[in-house]
């Protein structure tokens, strides 16, 4: 098991390095001048040149990459071109908000998805199954931002039940688990949970239906186990794949919530990334993408490590 | 029983006081801005004029402020931290500025000639300890002619310019004064100063959460007693997404939103919101290329384009949220003058001019316009451009668009038509602000303003214009200067040097509880008379 984990970790390293190269280069390929958003349009040329030197944008790309990677390894992602604030602090602050949102959305999505998928799998080909399948297809297909806007129009603008934007009365630094704050989380979390819910429901439904059809289930029933006892065997067989799907989905939730966070002005990485893109804030953009990508790599690693614990067959393979 | 009664009476009284206290505590004014982050709070804000509007003229003052008290006339300059300013008659590069006495920064330190010199050094002298590259980037371009600022006595300074510049007072209106004492106290750190800034303005910042909120409270010691704020507190929130801003207003999370999407306005009105708007120094144009092979070299073509656009139809498309443009500035402005060429919708005359130039709808003149899909001040660029494309097609133009990302289009504006990024465009569609003569005319029409010297994107060059603009810049009498600028403008319109389409009207939506707001004809607005009814 230890050798397996070590191997997985070693495999992850070149992936992480490629991630740094790609996210460094991607932002340089995009059109537009990184300083145009920082310096006003009528800033004199010498000010712009001085800013370029100050941010190291006058050096060749390879040198810029080397310097950036060297600092990044030490936890210093530079400072934002637009605000002058340290990127590491900015991104970590935003990551904590995104983690909060993604975690709540993932729990909602996973629990609802498992419940729906389980019911549909047990009642395969029934009306209930069809309803659940339709709901999960809708969940996967509905655009996040559209659903977010619809929910906002209904629950904020019309009914005045829930706030339309923001992370609570005092801003994100002052988050506490009281209703005044939680009510800000409800709409974005529900919006964000719909896709993983659909994915998990579809996966679990297929797996449950498949497992129930296998001979060992018949054997267990024939041996006199109750349905409840058999259910635990089904769960054990379904869990590794469902977890793998959820692990990937959590990765998407962390990075893919740009639109949802923008619609709800939720101060997470998606909101930060959106601003950084529009402001051409290269250090901020690189830092955010890097941290999100590394999260994704780490999550996959975690899933790779957890899966064989649940399913010993995988260790042998 | 007595102690019991006393207790009950005390409890009732306390509850009553608490309730009345709640009832009389004025609610804060909560404003949703379009910016994606809190504009820079250290002195010279970023995020364009929205930054100046909310984190500039609120926390700070300029030597010369804008008079934002009227909705009926164009906003002009008014004394701020300077009580008077005058150019030296013998040497027109030297200005004597008399400072206001008794002004205090929010931290209690005194405003004087030393603080003025210190703040100019902050922007202009990169060897000074207080030099801030970020503020310099935002502020230096606004004072291109300032060479030196020197103290004469405690309440007088002398500003020396590189060349005679009668527009200096306008330029000075964009320079704010941060407290040197507060900067020293915070360990000479602009980063810390951003969280606890100190200016002389009517509001002081008490809390800032980047990208989420800035909280300003009234500064009771403000020097202009007529402008002591009515609101005790203002909360500014950056909400870049227009639909989210509208939803936040309708759900009661904010009291005031900037720039609601035009298609949301009817819904906001039906929800009982007040929509305010007023014309301000903004123009939405096509700026022509003047390269030798440009289709706009022919004045008949330029005039035809100006006569072909149905601006009233466009106004309908925007739900009434624009003013049809008749020139570089609005028709009621002192710089408009009396052009002979009247810009209006006259497709028959446009067709005639195009035919004379050799083009008809069947044999159209191809023109390529650089446009963006969105962007600050660009209004609704895609539907507006498609509308104009249709209008121009009817008189003999074949308009194609090169749709660029906003930042790319904006960056290209500075680089000019010859830059490869212009992709062979014959005109560019970047809207502009024109509150001062440099912004309205010089930076577009003077030969010296060709890139990288300014925004003369199309490389326009005409010695007659250069001479008139130089003369206006060297005329220190305000009335005479205005008359000269009106002559420049008359000539621009008569030569049809641009295609002028629309002026934005800066729509805002607010709840009926917001009282006292007067929407000035300016990019900036005065928040001091505004309050929120409980």
Going from N- to C-terminal start, the domains of chain A cover 98-265
Partner residues linked to B258 by β-bridges:
B508
Q: Which are the contacts of A9, defined by CB distance < 8 A and separation ≥ 6?
A: A301
> Residue ranges of the alpha helices (H) in chain A?
2-29, 45-54, 61-73, 87-122, 127-141, 144-151, 179-212, 215-222, 227-255, 258-263, 269-279, 282-310, 312-316
Nearest by CB to A32, from B271, B405, B452: name it. Answer: B405
pLDDT for the residue numbered B16:
45
Q: Which residues of A touch B123 (CB under 8 A)?
A: none
Query: What residues of chain A lie within 8 A of the CB of B511, using their CB?
Result: none
| ipTM given for this complex | 0.75
Put simply, the answer to whether A156 touches B211 (Cβ < 8 Å) is no
CA distances from A311 to A41, A230, B266 (A): 60, 17, 59
Supply the pTM of this predicted model.
Answer: 0.83
Q: Do B133 and B195 form a contact (C-beta atoms < 8 A)?
A: no
Q: Does B422 touch chain A (CB under 8 A)?
A: no
The CATH number of the structural domain formed by A98-265 is 1.10.3720.10
A180 near B CB under 8 A: no
Using alpha carbons, select from B172, B270, B217 the residue that is nearest to residue B28. Answer: B217
d(CA A16, CA A5): 16
Cβ atoms B107, B181 nearer than 8 A = yes
Q: What does the pLDDT look like over A34-73, one tens digit per residue? A: 666 566 666 667 777 777 776 777 788 888 888 888 888 8
Question: pLDDT confidence of A177, banded at 50, 70, 90?
Answer: confident
Distance from CA of A90 to the nearest CA of B (A): 9
One-letter-per-residue 3-state SS of B128-151: CCCCCHHHHHHHHHHCCCEEEEEE
Which pLDDT score, from 0 to 100, does residue A33 have? Answer: 64
| Tokens encoding A253 | 């939730």
Say if B261 is an interface residue toward chain A (CB within 8 Å).
no
Cα–Cα dist A43/B410, whole Å:
13
| Strands in B94-249 per DSSP E | 94-99, 146-153, 156-161, 203-209, 213-218, 233-238
CB spacing of A84 vs B190 below 8 angstroms: yes
Asked if B420 reaches chain A (Cβ–Cβ under 8 Å), the answer is: no
Cite the DSSP H helix spans in B311-405. 311-317, 347-356, 381-393
Nearest by CB to residue A43, choosing from B137, B240, B253, is B137
Give the distance from CA B279 to its chain's centroid. 12
Burial level of B531, CB count in 10 A (0-12/13-18/19+)? buried
Q: B125 φ, ψ to 5°? A: -110, 100
pLDDT at A93 over 90: no
- The H-or-E segment that residue B323 falls in is strand B323-324
- Tell me the per-residue pLDDT of B383-409, one tens digit each, with 9 for 90 and over: 999 999 999 999 999 999 999 877 778
> Which A residues in the span 273-302 are in contact with B, Cβ-Cβ below 8 Å?
274-275, 278-280
DSSP-assigned states of every residue in B6-19: HHHHHHHHHHHHHH
CA-based nearest residue in chain A for residue B244:
A263
CA distance A24 to B302: 46
pLDDT of res. A125? 81
For chain B, which residues score pLDDT lower than 70?
1-25
Q: What is the pLDDT of residue B22?
A: 44
Among residues B238, B300, B290, B255, the alpha carbon closest in space to that of B496 is found at B300
Residues of A in contact with B253 (CB under 8 A): 156, 163-166
Q: Beta partners for B215?
A: B207, B235
Residues of A in contact with B189 (CB under 8 A): none
| Number of other CB atoms surrounding residue A4 within 10 Å | 13
For residues A262-300, b (16+ Cβ closer than 10 Å) or e, as one string? bbbbbbbbbbbbbbbbbbbbbbbbbbbbbbbbbbbbebb
Nearest by CB: B251 against A85, A156, A274: A156
Task: Measure the CA dihedral B412/B417/B420/B426, to 10°.
Answer: 110
Nearest chain A Cα distance for residue B444, angstroms: 12
Question: Are the CB atoms for B29 and B514 separated by under 8 Å?
Answer: yes
> Bridge-partner residues for B146, per DSSP?
B161
A36: contact with B, CB 8 A cutoff: yes
Nearest CB partner across the interface for A36, out of B209, B410, B454: B410
Q: How many CB atoms neighbour CB A46 within 10 A?
A: 10
Could you tell me how many CB contacts below 8 A there are between chain A and chain B?
140
How many Å lie between the alpha carbon of B373 and the closest alpha carbon of chain A?
13
Pick the closest to residue A187 from A258, A134, A274, A265 (CA basis).
A265
Place of tokens 């006393």: B6
- Residue A144 at interface with chain B, using a CB cutoff of 8 Å: no
Rounded to a whole number of angstroms, the distance from the CA of A139 to the nearest CA of chain B is 22
């Amino acid at each position: 098991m230890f050798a397996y984990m070590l191997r997985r970790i070693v495999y992850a390293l070149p992936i992480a390095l490629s991630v740094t190269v790609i996210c460094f280069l991607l932002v340089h390929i995009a059109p537009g001048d990184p300083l145009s958003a920082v310096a006003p349009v009528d800033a004199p040329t010498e000010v712009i040149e001085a800013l370029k030197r100050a941010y190291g944008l006058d050096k060749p790309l390879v040198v810029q990459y080397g310097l950036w990677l060297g600092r990044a390894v030490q936890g210093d992602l530079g400072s934002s071109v637009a605000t002058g604030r340290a990127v590491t602090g900015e991104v970590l602050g935003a990551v904590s908000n995104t983690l909060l949102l993604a975690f709540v959305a993932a729990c909602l999505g996973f629990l609802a998805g498992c419940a729906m998928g389980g019911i549909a799998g047990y009642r395969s080909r029934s009306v209930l199954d069809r309803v659940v399948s339709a709901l999960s297809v809708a969940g996967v297909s509905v655009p996040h931002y559209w659903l977010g806007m619809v929910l906002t129009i209904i629950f904020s603008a019309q009914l005045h039940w829930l706030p339309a934007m923001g992370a609570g009365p005092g801003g994100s630094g002052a988050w506490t688990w009281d209703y005044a704050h939680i009510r800000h989380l409800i709409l974005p979390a529900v919006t964000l949970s719909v896709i993983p819910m659909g994915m998990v429901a579809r996966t679990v439904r297929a797996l449950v239906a498949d497992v129930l059809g296998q001979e060992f289930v018949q054997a267990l029933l024939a041996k006199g186990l109750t349905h409840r006892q058999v259910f635990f065997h089904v769960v054990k067989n379904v869990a590794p794949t469902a977890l793998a799907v959820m692990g990937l989905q959590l990765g998407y939730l962390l990075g893919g919530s740009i639109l949802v966070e923008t619609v709800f002005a939720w101060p997470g990485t998606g909101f930060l990334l959106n601003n950084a893109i529009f402001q051409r804030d290269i250090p901020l953009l690189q830092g955010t993408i890097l941290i999100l990508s590394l999260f994704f790599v780490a999550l996959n690693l975690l899933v790779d490590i957890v899966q064989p614990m649940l399913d010993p067959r995988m260790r042998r393979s | 029983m007595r102690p019991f009664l006393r207790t009950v009476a005390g409890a009732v009284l306390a509850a009553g006081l608490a309730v009345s206290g709640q009832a009389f505590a004025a609610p804060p004014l909560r404003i949703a801005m379009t910016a994606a982050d809190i504009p820079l709070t250290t002195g010279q804000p970023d995020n364009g004029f929205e930054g100046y509007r909310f984190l500039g003229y609120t926390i700070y003052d300029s030597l010369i402020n804008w008079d934002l008290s009227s909705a009926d006339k164009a906003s002009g300059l008014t004394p701020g931290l300077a009580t008077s300013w005058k150019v030296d008659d013998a040497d027109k590069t030297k200005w004597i500025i008399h400072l206001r006495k008794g002004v205090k920064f929010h931290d209690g330190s005194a405003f004087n000639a030393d603080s003025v010199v210190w703040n100019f050094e902050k922007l202009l002298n990169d060897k000074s300890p207080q030099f801030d590259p970020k503020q310099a980037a935002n502020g230096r371009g606004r004072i291109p002619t300032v060479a030196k600022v020197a103290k004469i006595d405690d309440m007088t300074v002398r500003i020396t310019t590189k060349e005679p510049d009668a527009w200096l007072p306008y330029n000075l209106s964009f320079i704010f004064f941060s407290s040197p004492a507060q900067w020293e106290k915070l360990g000479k750190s602009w980063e810390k100063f951003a969280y606890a800034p100190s200016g002389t303005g009517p509001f002081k910042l008490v809390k800032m959460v980047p990208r989420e909120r800035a909280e300003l409270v009234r500064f009771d010691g403000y020097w202009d007693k007529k402008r002591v704020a009515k609101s005790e507190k203002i909360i500014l929130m950056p909400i870049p997404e227009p639909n989210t801003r509208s939803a936040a207003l309708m759900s009661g999370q904010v009291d005031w939103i900037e720039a609601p999407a035009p298609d949301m306005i009817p819904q906001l009105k039906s929800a009982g919101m007040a929509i305010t708007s007023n014309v301000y120094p903004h123009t939405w144009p096509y700026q022509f290329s003047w390269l030798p092979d440009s289709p706009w070299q022919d004045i008949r073509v330029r005039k035809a384009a100006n006569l072909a656009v149905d601006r009233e139809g466009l106004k309908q498309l925007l739900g009434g949220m624009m003013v049809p443009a008749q020139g570089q500035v609005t028709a009621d402005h002192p710089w408009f003058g009396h052009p002979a060429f009247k810009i209006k919708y006259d497709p028959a005359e446009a067709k005639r001019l195009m035919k004379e130039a050799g083009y008809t709808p069947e044999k159209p003149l191809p023109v390529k316009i650089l446009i963006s899909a969105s962007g600050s001040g660009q209004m609704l660029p895609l539907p507006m451009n498609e509308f104009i494309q249709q209008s121009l097609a009817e008189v003999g133009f074949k308009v194609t668009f090169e749709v660029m990302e906003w930042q790319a289009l904006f960056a290209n504006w500075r680089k000019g038509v010859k830059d490869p990024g212009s992709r062979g465009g014959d005109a560019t569609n970047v809207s502009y602000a024109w509150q001062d003569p440099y912004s309205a005319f010089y930076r577009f029409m003077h030969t010296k303003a060709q890139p990288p010297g300014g925004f003369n994107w199309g490389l326009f060059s005409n010695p007659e214009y250069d001479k008139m603009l130089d003369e206006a810049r060297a005329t220190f009498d305000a009335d005479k200067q205005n008359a000269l600028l009106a002559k420049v403008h008359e000539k621009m319109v008569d030569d049809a040097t641009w295609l002028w389409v629309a002026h934005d009207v800066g729509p805002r939506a607010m709840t009926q509880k917001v009282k006292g707001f007067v929407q000035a004809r300016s990019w900036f607005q005065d928040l001091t008379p505004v309050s929120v009814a409980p």
